Amino acid sequence: MRPTPRGLLAALGLAFLATVARAHAPATDMLAAAQKFLAPLNPDQKKQATYALTATERENWNFVPIARQGLPFRQMDAAQHDLGIALLRTGLGQRGLARAEAIMSMELVLKELEGDKPPGRRDPNGYFITIFGEPSATQPWGWRFEGHHLSFNFTVVDGAHVFFAPSFIGSNPAEVRAGPRQGERPLAEEDDLGRAFVKSLDEAQRKTAVFTDKAPNEILTTNGKRVEPLTPAGIAAEQLKPAQREKLHELVKLYLARYRPELAEETFAQATAAGLGQLTFAWAGGFERGQANYYRIQGPAFLIEFDNSQNDANHIHTVFREFKGDFGHDLLREHYAKEHPAK
């Protein structure tokens, strides 16, 4: 039976409502989890864990083993620790949570490799939670989960829009090469799929994609508060064969799949709104495992970087950035212009 116009409108209305509900779910869950996390903290803990949304500390993110501003796991009891992990789950998908747990546990591997020198430097409880602003269903706020090789920065605007850039995951070692955990590779997919993609390029394509035979010693954007598109851009998706384009899209989705499906899908749609042909891929360094390498994927709105060059090419850094969406910057500016216009 052919659907009637009224039936089509009803179906479209239901689909719209479902989309709106799906978009609001992460923000709603983050609000509830943040409130539950803050509730049992004593006054000193709460003071340590909270900052104003406008504090400069909110954009003071990093991924090296230094002390952070916030409340670390080591100063929480078991129940508070669980509530902190529950907050982290509201932003990450299963793949992202598994990677985060693997990276935190890698601190024990480093502790053994380094002989715990200096004492306490490597600590799986050295991860901090910081809340920025008052968690609210109507006003903007944010939160950060950060420690060595992990930095997740979430911004919630108008109780509906969630931004998760800048977002960093690294692994040292990239592969555990001895001991009872030998063979563990927390970022194996990012490593293997990037290499497989560059190897799929023919000679002419590779000349365009590879900008130097020496990999940089670090992601080029480091921990900058703002980023701009990097040059040279590399090879454009429109210059790829259909199967290669599909592999490039899969690589982008791999990085976004670290986050909740609702956030990943929405961000992929926004990041590729100008067209998938606008994506570019650039490579530096060797093509074989064990050789230092770097790659990046850029679109008009976002940047992904991967670097594996330190510690004899056994130390990976990866980052996802948005040129206008880092820390929800542009939408926050719109919010304040609307809600708090200059007099």
The Cα–Cα gap between 106 and 57 comes to 27
How, if at all, do strands 280-285 and 235-236 pair?
Answer: antiparallel
The residue from 134, 165, 196 where one domain ends is 165
pLDDT at 5: 40
Nearest to 166 by CA among 42, 77, 63: 63
Give the structural domain span for 307. Answer: 188-324
Task: Note the pTM of the prediction, 2 decimals.
Answer: 0.90
Residue 281 CB: number of other CB atoms within 10 A?
Answer: 28
Beta bridge partners of 306: 295, 318
User: Is residue 151 one of the residues assigned to a domain?
Assistant: yes
Same domain, 154 and 195: no
Whether residue 139 is contained in a domain is answered as yes
Looking at the fold, whether 154 and 254 belong to one and the same domain comes out as no
Considering the domain architecture, whether residues 220 and 301 belong to the same structural domain is answered as yes
Is residue 85 in a domain?
yes
Q: How many CB atoms lie within 10 A of CB 274?
A: 12
Tell me whether residue 331 is in a domain.
no
61-101, pLDDT tens digit by residue?
999 999 899 999 999 999 999 999 999 999 999 999 999 99
Whether 335 is covered by a domain: the verdict is no
Q: What percent of the chain has pLDDT over 90?
A: 82
Same domain (yes/no): 12, 68 = yes
pLDDT classification of 338: cutoffs 50, 70, 90 = low
**Per-residue pLDDT tens for 308-332?**
999 999 999 999 999 998 999 877 7
Distance of alpha carbon 234 from alpha carbon 255, whole angstroms:
19
pLDDT digits (tens, 9 = 90+) for 215-237: 999 999 999 999 999 999 899 99
Q: Quick one: how far is CA 268 from the chain centroid?
A: 13
| Alpha-carbon gap, residue 67 to 132, rounded angstroms | 18
Nearest-5° Cα angle at 139, 133 to 142: 40
Q: How far apart are CA 137 and CA 160, in angstroms?
A: 8
Contact 160, 24 (CB under 8 A): yes
Looking at the structure, do residues 237 and 122 belong to the same domain, yes or no?
Answer: no
Is residue 277 very low, low, confident or very high in pLDDT (cuts 50, 70, 90)? confident
Do 201 and 296 belong together in one domain? yes
HEC string of the chain equals CCCCHHHHHHHHHHHHHHHHHHHHHHHHHHHHHHHHHHCCCCHHHHHHHEECCCCHHHHCCCCCCCCCCCEEHHHCCHHHHHHHHHHHHCCECHHHHHHHHHHHHHHHHHHHHCCCCCCCCCCCCCCEEEEECCCCCCCCEEEEEEECCEEEEEEEECCCEEECCCEEEEECCCCCCCCCCCCCCCCHHHHHHHHHHHHHCCHHHHHHHEEECCCCCCCCCCCCCCCCCCCCCCEEHHHCCHHHHHHHHHHHHHHHCCECHHHHHHHHHHHCCCCHHHCEEEEEECCCCCCCEEEEEECCCEEEEEEECHHHHCCEEEEEEECCCHHHHHHHHHHHHHHCCCC
**C-alpha 168, offset from chain centre:** 5
The verdict on residue 332 lying in a domain is: no
Residues 90 and 239 in one domain: no
Q: Is residue 144 part of a domain?
A: yes
For residue 107 the two structure tokens come to 């601190």
Examine residue 124 and say whether the peptide bond preceding it is cis (omega within 30 degrees of 0): no
Residues 26 and 134 in one domain: yes
Q: Which residue, 106, 131, 165, sits at the end of a domain?
A: 165
Residue 290 scores a pLDDT above 50:
yes
| Exposure on the CB side of residue 127, measured as CA atoms within 13 A | 21
Domain total in the chain: 2
Beta bridge partners, 273, equal none
Are residues 228 and 300 located together in one domain of the fold?
yes
Q: What angle do CA 133, 38, 145 make, to 5 degrees?
A: 70
- Same domain (yes/no): 13, 158: yes
**Residue 183 forms part of a structural domain:** no
**Mean pLDDT over the full length of the chain:** 91
Domain shared by 235 and 129, yes or no? no
Same domain, 36 and 105: yes
pLDDT in tens, 162-205: 999 999 999 999 999 999 999 999 999 999 999 999 999 999 99
